[in-house]
Structure 1
Amino acid sequence: MVDEKKRYEQMLSAMLAFVDTVNAHHAEGVCFGTDIPLYPAEIHTIAAIAEAEGGSLTKLAGILGISKPTLSERIRKLVAKGFVRKEANPDDRKAVTLWLTENGRTADHHHTLHHERLYADFCLFFGNKAPIKIDHFKMTFDELIALNARSNRV
């Protein structure tokens, strides 16, 4: 049991080291083909809007798995930075629809290219084991997220 606990601590350390390297890469934001830095939550909001342009705040919050107030704050910042525009919803006077600006489309395109490079590097590193690794990491991260949610209910 002591050995297992030690391996668990080593796993946590490795996971945190990985998260730290990702966070360090994004600490100052990434410009994604524009001259304006974007943080991970911002670029992933842009990517979600690109997938559902013209959608509502409610729909987008559901896609991203975040609250409407959190999303509203992100959208406010992205509008101010010039990546997103809001338009009145013709079917619902209280609602707005979300659209990418030209800068938003540029950032989304460069973000897609970034993910394509990450995937190519992953496949090169893991070779023919890449599909198995993808499934394994996905399952493991899903389980760790569930465990974390459960542990944080205390």
Structure 2
Amino acid sequence: MNDRIQRTHNLINLFLQVVEGIKRNERKARVYGDSPPLHPSEIHMIMRIGQNPGIHPASLASLAAVTRGAVSQVLAKLEAKELITKTADLSDGGRYQIWLTPAGKSAFEGHERHHAAIDTPLIHRLADMSDSEFQVIEDFFLMLKEMTERHR
């Protein structure tokens, strides 16, 4: 049993190292396609716009689970970098729609290529697992998700 306790502590430490690595990566600006360096909040907004062309800022805020003010700040940065464009919504004159520019589309596609390269080995490994192995991992992540939601 002592060995299991040690292995459990090692597993928890490994998990915490993964979390720290993710946090470090979330602070880095990266270049995708022909884009200038983009912070994670910027490329994630580009991804949402690319997946929902012509979306309204309020809908973006809802999708991203952030305030409209936060969306406005990121959109201003993306507009300054010429990655998005805004047009008046013809069906509602008080609102506007957001679209990717060609440079924004390049960043969108570059980010998709980036994730395909990173995610493919993991996807293949998970696909090769038995149903019971996969279920253990799924249960583990569901437990972690519940823990984080309980301790907000």
- TM range, smaller chain: 0.7 to 0.9
Q: Specify the alignment match of 2:74 in structure 1.
A: 74
1:4-153, aligned counterparts within 5 Å? 10-123=10-123, 128-129=128-129, 140-152=140-152
Instruction: Describe the SS at the equivalent of 1:129.
Output: coil
Cα distance in 2 for partners of 1:131, 1:105 equals 38
Percent of residue pairs identical: 23
Could you report, residue by residue, the CA deviation over 1:46-98 in whole angstroms, capped at 9, with x for unpaired residues?
01101111011122222222222211111111111111111111122221100
Q: Answer with 1 or 2: which has the greater Rg.
A: 2
**TM-score, length-scaled by structure 2:** 0.78
Q: Which amino acid aligns with 1:45?
A: M
Q: Is the 8 A contact 1:30 1:37 kept in 2?
A: yes
Greater shift, 97-106 or 130-139, is seen at 130-139
Cα distance in 2 for partners of 1:134, 1:76 equals 42
Task: Label 1:13 to 1:53 Cα distance change in 2 as closer, same or farther (>3 A).
Answer: same
Task: Label 1:139 to 1:42 Cα distance change in 2 as closer, same or farther (>3 A).
Answer: farther
Q: Say how many residue pairs are matched.
A: 151
Task: Label 1:125 to 1:87 Cα distance change in 2 as closer, same or farther (>3 A).
Answer: same
Could you report, residue by residue, the CA deviation over 1:90-128 in whole angstroms, capped at 9, with x for unpaired residues?
122221100001111000001111111122221455561
Instruction: Describe the SS at the equivalent of 2:78.
Output: helix
The root-mean-square deviation of aligned C-alpha atoms, in Å, is 3.1
**TM-score, length-scaled by structure 1:** 0.77
Q: Which amino acid aligns with 1:15?
A: F
In the alignment, structure 1 segments of 5+ residues that lack a partner are: none
